[in-house]
Amino acid sequence: MTTKKLAIVGAQELTRNNAPWNDPDCDIWVISNWANANWCKRCNGVIEIHEPHVYRNHEKDPQYWQWLQDNQTARVIMFYPDDRVPMAEHYPLGKVSGLIENLKVRGREAQNFASSVDYALALAIVEQYEQIDVYGVEMAHSSEYRSQQASFAFWVGFCAGKGINLNINCTQGLFIKPLYGTFGNADGDLDSYIEGITQQLNETKKNVDMLEGAIGIVRQMKSDRMEIMQGETHEN
C-alpha cells in the first residue's frame, strides 16, 4: 500500500532544493508566490491565505497574480476562493480549528496559526497525510520568523502526536537541543542564551536605525511645511 506523502517547501535556499521534486508519489505544497519562483520545479498545492490586495499586487513577484489566473495544475487553497483563480479551493478553517477545539486558554478557544506553514501542517493532518517532509523553512533570520517558531513547533508536535511520520529537513537548532536539567549541559544552555541575546541586540540596533530614519523624515516634513506656511504668509 502506497504511503500518502507530502512535502511542504519554503523558500529558504539552504534546503529547498533537497525537496523530492522528482518523486511522483509525493505531493508538494508551496507558500503563496513561491509557486511562481524559478526554483519551484513543480507543486500540487499552493497555500494562499492572504487578502486579494496582497496576491493581486505582490510586492516581491508582480507576475504572481497572472500565474494564479493561468495555473491549471496546482490547487490554490484560499480562505475566500477568488473567482478569477480557476484552481482556487476553500481552506477548511472550521475543520482545521476543530483539531484543537479541546484546547482552552483562560476559557477561550486556542488560535495558534502564526504562518502559512502552520496552516499547511494543520491541513495536512485533516487530509490524512501519513508522511510529511518540511524543507526550506528556517524560522531564524528575523524577529518575524522567530515570532512564528512557537506556533510552528506546536503543529510539528501535533503531527508527531497524531502518529504522522514527520521529517523536518530544515530549521537547524529548533528541535535538537541539550536536555534541560541534565548534567554537563550548562555551557550549552549559556551559549544558547548568549546567542539569543546577541540576536535581540542586533535587531534592536536595526530598529533604532529605522526609528532614527523615521524621525529624520518627519522633521524634514515639518521643516518643509513651515517653509510653505511662511511663504504663504509673506505672499499675503
Cα–Cα distance for residue pair 30/74, rounded to 1 Å: 10
Residue 114 has pLDDT above 80, yes or no: yes
- The listed range with the strongest mean pLDDT (118-127, 153-162, 199-208) is 118-127
More confident: 144 or 118? 118
Question: Quick one: angle between helices 116-126 and 149-161, nearest 10?
Answer: 10
More confident: 231 or 220? 220
Cα–Cα distance for residue pair 140/209, rounded to 1 Å: 21
Residue 188 has pLDDT above 70, yes or no: no
Residue 134 has pLDDT above 90, yes or no: yes
Residue 229 has pLDDT above 90, yes or no: no
- Stretch 142-167: mean pLDDT, rounded? 83
- Stretch 18-44: mean pLDDT, rounded? 96
The DSSP letter of residue 206 is H
- The fraction of the chain above a pLDDT of 70, given in percent, is 86
Residue 207 has pLDDT above 90, yes or no: no
Strand arrangement, sheet containing 26-31: 88-90, 75-78, 45-47, 26-31, 5-9, 131-135, 165-168
Tens of pLDDT, residue by residue over 42-86, are 999 999 999 999 999 999 999 999 999 999 999 999 999 999 999
- The fraction of the chain above a pLDDT of 90, given in percent, is 55
Report residue 144's pLDDT band, with 50, 70 and 90 as the boundaries.
Answer: very low
**34, 100, 170, 185 alpha-carbon torsion, rounded to 10°:** 150
pLDDT value of residue 196: 66
Residue 225 has pLDDT above 90, yes or no: no
